[in-house]
Amino acid sequence: MFDAVKVKNECVAWIRDFFEKNGKDCNAIVGISGGKDSSVVAALCVEALGKDRVIGVLMPCGEQADINCAKQLVDHLGIKNFTVNIKAAVEGLLSAWPKELELSVQTRTNIPPRVRMTTLYAIGQSCNGRVANTCNLSEDWVGYSTRYGDAAGDFSPCSNLTVAEVKQIGHVLGLPENLVEKTPIDGLCGKTDEDNLGFTYAALDRYIRTGVCVDEAVKERIDSLHERNLFKLQLMPSFIPKL
């Protein structure tokens, strides 16, 4: 049985310890999308460090349909926040793209999250900050993140927690119901996470924690995605010379 209160308290202590060792008096920089993951990470950081040491960064790419959720979260937590619209930066890169090189759909999809991570680190360097990674175990398990985009960061409070577990912690933290239970969308192509993945987070979470998946086709897809994306969770391979 998952004890959300116990895990929340342990995570808060872990964040405090991280900052004590890796950035005493630094601020936590959190990209705020308005979904459960960024909401929970920001709230954990507030409990660990105090609201004066947490900075939220809203990064729409042009018009963002659910931007009010992000604003609701920073208002609820009472944290300092900045809004950086990344549309011009994304369009600037696309306008400079070599005409002889075809731009793949996946490339176009992954540019915004990488620009967002650049933005977070730029703000972090200007605000004495450490950048929070907001991924969860379920997404990481099947590679549902952008390498050097949302998969990057200096510390990761939720990367060993499933979607269901993150939600439970969100409720324990007293976050607004609509943010914790908000249907996750990728923020890139307008589809829900589950539409893109081809299975539910409930099925994925159960398989991760118990090894049980009643649908063999879903099990095969999860296993395939996990194997293909393991490189995202590992340190960059480096050549070691025999000296």
- Quick check: 147 pLDDT over 60? yes
Mean pLDDT of 177-186: 87
What pLDDT sits at residue 187?
Answer: 57
| Closest of 193, 173, 175 to residue 183, by C-alpha | 193
What pLDDT sits at residue 131?
Answer: 98
Cβ(4)–Cβ(161) below 8 Å: no
Q: What is the pLDDT of residues 73-126, one digit of tens each?
A: 999 999 999 999 999 999 999 999 999 999 999 999 999 999 999 999 999 999
In a domain, 240, yes or no: no
In a domain, 211, yes or no: no
Residue 36 to residues 92, 144, 162: CA-CA distances in angstroms? 31, 15, 12
DSSP one-letter code for 108: H
What pTM was estimated for this model as a whole?
A: 0.95
Q: How far apart are CA 21 and CA 130, in angstroms?
A: 12
In a domain, 220, yes or no: no
Q: What is the pLDDT of residues 191-239, one digit of tens each?
A: 788 888 999 999 999 999 999 999 999 999 999 999 999 999 888 999 9
User: What are the φ and ψ backbone dihedral angles of 162, each rounded to 5 degrees?
Assistant: -75, 170
In a domain, 159, yes or no: yes
CATH number for position 141: 3.40.50.620
What pLDDT sits at residue 50?
Answer: 98
- At residue 1 the predicted structure's pLDDT band, cuts being 50, 70 and 90, is confident
What pLDDT sits at residue 183?
Answer: 84
In a domain, 68, yes or no: yes
In a domain, 106, yes or no: yes
Q: Count the domains in the chain.
A: 1
List the domain range (segments joined by +) for residue 16: 4-182
